[in-house]
Amino acid sequence: MTRIFLLMLVAFALPYSVARLLSAAGVLKQPLSATLGVLSGMGAALAMLVVLVLLETDASSRDGAYQPPRLEEGEIRPGQFEERDPPPADGSI
């Protein structure tokens, strides 16, 4: 969760910093507010894209059913994911 927050912070702060630097250098001739609006929109789109990519490539998602913690023989067994059977070797599904 921290890396998502930091990536979103960078996505919003970077365009502002770049616009300020370019304005101070005299490269930007238009008003700073128009430039920041466009760059902020691009930063928001980038942040959403990064969040979607991180959610889709999350390594913690597992295939299989979750088995909650349970009491067996007087001991508490922790919750775990049941492993699914591997697909057949002949390629038929």
20-51 residue pLDDT tens:
787 788 777 766 677 777 777 888 888 888 88
Domain boundaries along the sequence of the chain: 2-56
Long-range Cβ contact pairs of 10-13 (< 8 A, separation 24 or more) = 11/43, 11/44, 11/46, 11/47, 11/50, 12/40, 12/43, 12/44, 12/47
Q: Tell me: the pLDDT tens digits for 2-14?
A: 777 787 777 777 7
- Its pTM stands at 0.37
**Residue 39, pLDDT score:** 74
Helices 32-56, 2-25: inter-axial angle, 10-degree rounding = 160
Supply 82's token pair: 């049941």
